[in-house]
């Protein structure tokens, strides 16, 4: 048992001052007045820094120079974790883009191992594809885009029942509605993405198991005057969540401002991060595509966006500086709301008694100085 004190505490609901957070093993015990700390408890003085719930990113493709699709292994997950925790991400879903059945099985096995051993802050697997619309494939390898058959459906259901598969991005128009219902009933969170679905069909899919939209505005049917598309349906649906990439490249900041006013707490931040996060690598291969990262933009030679070089701390800063979202709300967008979407809002996303001790430590410039992951304190302010 130990405490962190002399810090501002963004709990996920409010800002507290002159408090201390007591941690025992991997759980938050309580928040107390600094003067009420138990005698003899070990206390870490944060010298006026701030703490908030650790960031939760449901869409990370890579980091630290590694790409999950290239090698979906525990080793890759470990490298990605190390890269992103420097930017405050304490929990995440590794993403496997459209790939072979064999790669999907390897990804499930790697994530299952991490879950069983409680390693690297992994909350489950995000399969982005391969059941998507070729018209909106982006950098997904079209050789792997395919229809969902009964055999793979059963494998996905088994992975969901074992808790490995958490989130599946699909184009609802290319997957049978009864298959979607079976996946949702098995506990898979379903998100619409890489889709050319019409507004009318999108409204129906939201009534049949789809609860989220993947990287809103990117790789989907757009909001137009006579056809609102998937974007329009998602903005209109009060109960549908949406992840958004706040790097100023995927979506204009003014657009994010508009969406935030509409979606409120149903909008959360994602990075869609690629290998350059946490390691200075300007070029990498994504399947058959050569991708160059320049000025924070990851794109093919044809100009197709290929994920991002965004980290979650920068996404929060961008929301505060570019969109004037209050920092308390920007922090919730990076943690609390994602936890609620994942159905984990009673264990993650807040600094509160009984919650997992996953915390980000940062300064007034929103520069991350340390993290607490599963109760383990790491600090590199002077490194």
Distance (Å, rounded) from C-alpha 370 to C-alpha 362?
7
Residues 73 and 46 in one domain: no
* pLDDT reported for residue 18: 86
Say whether pLDDT at 79 is over 80.
Answer: yes
Residue 261: inside a domain: yes
Residues 176 and 129 in one domain: yes
Instruction: Tell me which of 57, 272, 311, 356 is the catalytic residue.
Output: 272
Residues 199 and 93 in one domain: yes
Q: Counting Cβ atoms within 10 Å, is residue 382 exposed (0-12), middle (13-18) or buried (19+)?
A: exposed
* pLDDT reported for residue 382: 61
Residues 110 and 176 in one domain: yes
Distance (Å, rounded) from C-alpha 129 to C-alpha 211?
16
Residues 259 and 191 in one domain: yes
| Structural domains of the chain, count | 2
CATH number at residue 34: 2.30.40.10
Which of these, 68, 4, 34, 69, lies nearest to 376 by C-alpha position? 4
Residue 346: inside a domain: no
Residue 41: inside a domain: yes
Residues 62 and 46 in one domain: no
Distance (Å, rounded) from C-alpha 219 to C-alpha 107?
23
* Dihedral sign computed on CA atoms, order 198, 204, 209, 211: positive
Say whether pLDDT at 40 is over 50.
Answer: yes
CATH number at residue 150: 3.20.20.140
Residues 254 and 269 in one domain: yes
Residue 39: inside a domain: yes
Residue 273: inside a domain: yes
Residues 202 and 227 in one domain: yes
Q: What is the mean pLDDT of residues 1-8?
A: 96
Residue 314: inside a domain: yes
CA angle 104, 69, 370 (to 5 degrees): 115
Q: Give me the chain's average pLDDT, please.
A: 96
Say whether pLDDT at 381 is over 70.
Answer: no
- pTM of the full predicted structure? 0.97
Say whether pLDDT at 11 is over 80.
Answer: yes
Distances (CA, A) of 309 to 248, 256, 284, 313: 12, 18, 12, 12
Q: Counting Cβ atoms within 10 Å, is residue 14 exposed (0-12), middle (13-18) or buried (19+)?
A: exposed
Say whether pLDDT at 87 is over 50.
Answer: yes
Distances (CA, A) of 268 to 4, 58, 205, 263, 344: 27, 10, 21, 10, 14
pLDDT in tens, 309-329: 999 999 999 999 999 999 999
Residue 325: inside a domain: yes
* pLDDT reported for residue 169: 98
* pLDDT reported for residue 102: 97
Residues 9 and 78 in one domain: no
Say whether pLDDT at 280 is over 90.
Answer: no
pLDDT in tens, 127-173: 999 999 999 999 999 999 999 999 999 999 999 999 999 999 999 99
Domain containing residue 13:
2-52+351-379
Say whether pLDDT at 290 is over 60.
Answer: yes
Q: Is 272 a catalytic residue?
A: yes
Residues 233 and 129 in one domain: yes
Residues 174 and 215 in one domain: yes
Residues 206 and 112 in one domain: yes
* pLDDT reported for residue 208: 87
Say whether pLDDT at 383 is over 50.
Answer: no
Say whether pLDDT at 187 is over 90.
Answer: yes
């Amino acid at each position: 048992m130990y405490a962190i004190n002399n810090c501002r505490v963004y709990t996920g609901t409010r800002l507290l001052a002159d408090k201390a957070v007591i941690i025992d093993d991997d759980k938050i015990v309580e928040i107390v007045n600094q003067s009420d700390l138990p005698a003899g408890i070990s206390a870490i003085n944060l010298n006026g820094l701030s703490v908030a719930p650790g960031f939760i990113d449901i869409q990370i493709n890579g980091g630290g120079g590694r790409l999950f699709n290239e090698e979906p292994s525990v080793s890759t997950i470990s490298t990605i974790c190390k890269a992103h925790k420097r930017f405050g991400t304490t929990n995440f879903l590794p993403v496997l883009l459209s790939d072979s059945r064999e790669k999907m099985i390897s990804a499930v096995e790697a994530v299952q191992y991490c879950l069983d051993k409680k390693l690297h802050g992994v909350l489950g697997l995000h399969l982005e594809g391969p059941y998507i619309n070729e018209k909106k494939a982006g950098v997904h390898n079209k050789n792997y885009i395919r229809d969902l058959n009964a055999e793979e459906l059963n494998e996905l259901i088994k992975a969901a029942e074992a808790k490995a598969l958490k989130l599946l991005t699909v184009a609802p128009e290319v997957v049978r509605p009864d298959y979607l219902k079976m996946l949702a009933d098995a506990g898979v969170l379903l998100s619409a993405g890489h889709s050319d679905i019409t507004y009318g069909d999108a409204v129906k899919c939201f009534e049949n198991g789809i609860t989220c939209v993947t990287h809103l505005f990117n790789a989907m049917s757009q909001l137009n005057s006579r056809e609102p598309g998937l974007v329009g349906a998602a903005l209109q649906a009060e109960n549908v969540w949406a992840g958004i990439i706040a790097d100023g490249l995927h979506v204009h900041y003014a657009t994010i401002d508009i969406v935030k006013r509409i979606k409120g707490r149903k909008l959360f931040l994602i990075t869609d991060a690629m290998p350059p996060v946490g390691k200075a690598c300007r070029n990498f291969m994504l399947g058959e595509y050569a991708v160059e990262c320049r000025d924070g933009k990851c794109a093919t030679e044809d100009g197709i966006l290929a994920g991002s070089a965004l980290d979650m701390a920068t996404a929060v800063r961008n929301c505060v500086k570019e969109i004037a979202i209050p920092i308390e709300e920007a922090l919730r967008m990076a943690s609390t709301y994602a936890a609620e979407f994942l159905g984990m809002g009673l264990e993650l996303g807040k600094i509160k008694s009984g919650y997992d001790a996953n915390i980000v430590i940062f300064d007034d410039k929103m520069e991350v100085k340390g993290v607490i992951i599963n109760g383990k304190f790491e600090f590199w302010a002077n490194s």
